[in-house]
Each structure stands twice: as structure tokens, then as C-alpha cells.
Amino acid sequence: MNAVWVLLLGAILYGFNEAVKNSIGKIPDRIHDRTMSEFQNTLQKELSKFSIAEENLYLKKIEVYELFTSSFFRMIDSSRMQGKQKEKAMQEATKDFDKFMRTSFFYCDDETLRTIIIYRRFLQTEDMSDTANTDKTMAIMTDIFIAMRKSLGYKEEISREDILVLLLKDWEQVKNTERYSRILREDFSKYE
């Protein structure tokens, strides 16, 4: 009978030992699973926040770039105006451009900002009453538009000529002139 008790006690101890080993042995797995689940939830929340922030930045970039674009077109339109109407249009264009300059620092990517800096250096060093500099301004503007498009995620397949086709109403008449081929070739590396 002692042997039966010993066998029974051995079986109980063995079963208890296996139960403890299985439950304690699985504790690290349970902890790991729980930690991974918490990590995945946290990561998902952070990615969601990042996605929202990225979307908001994209929308803000568009808003800032629209300031630049409206300023640019107001300046072009004002060149065809006279007197007080021209003065008012230039003031509005300057106001938009100044606002753009104050906000571009925060929302433009490095390449767009560098192109804008080149434009500012150009304006500060060149005589803008010279027609050749008006053409250079047009070339820099196309570079800025291209950089802005790139920062918004568009491919880099657009060229100065493509932008000029959109900007100039008389492109077909002037595209083969020396003046516009000069615009297409213009190099601004000395302003970098």
C-alpha cells in the first residue's frame, strides 16, 4: 500500500510540477504577447498622429504656395494697369509676397527655400528696370514653381519651358526668339 501512495504522490507531484512549469514557462510568452500588443497599439496611434500632421503640413504648404502664386500673378497683372489701380494691385501683391516670405521659412522644404533665397539675392543685387533682368525674374519664378510642385510630391518631369507655356499667353509667338531661349538657359548659381 505504501508503494501505491508513493506512486500516487509521485504522480500528483509530477502533475503539479508540470502544471507549474507550463504556467510559469508561459509567463514570458504572455508578457511578450501583451507587450507586443501594447507596442502595436501605441505605434498605430503614433502613425495616425504623424499621418494627420503630414496631411496638415501638406494643406498648409498649398496655402502658402497659393500666396506666392497670387502675388506673382498680381504683379504680372499690375504691369498692364495704370495709376491708382496699378498702385493698389502692387500693394496687394507685395502684401501677399511679404506674408509668403514670413511663412515660407516654416513650410517650404529646403530646395524650395533655397530657390526663394536665390530669387531674393537676385532682387537685391540686380537692377530690375533692365529688361534682361525681367527675363531672369521669369526664369527664377519658373524654378520656384517647379520646386514647389516637387515639394508637394509631383514628379520632376516639368521644365522651365513647360511652366513658361502656362504663364505666357504669347508663348507660340516668342518660343523661338533669342530672348526666351535665354530664359530657358539662365543659370543662377552665382546667387547661391
Annotated domain spans of the chain: 58-191
Burial group, residue 104, by CB count within 10 angstroms (0-12, 13-18, 19+): buried
d(CA 144, CA 115): 6
User: pLDDT per position in the chain (192 positions), as tens?
Assistant: 666 666 666 767 676 677 666 666 666 777 777 777 787 878 787 777 777 878 888 889 999 999 999 888 888 888 788 888 888 888 888 888 889 888 888 889 999 999 999 988 988 888 877 777 778 888 899 999 999 999 999 988 888 888 888 887 777 787 778 877 777 888 888 887
Each residue of 63-92: b (16+ CB within 10 Å) or e?
ebbebbbebbebbeebeeeeeeeeeebbee
Instruction: Quote the CA–CA distance of 47 and 54 in Å, as a whole number.
Output: 10
Neighbours of 133 (CB within 10 A): 15
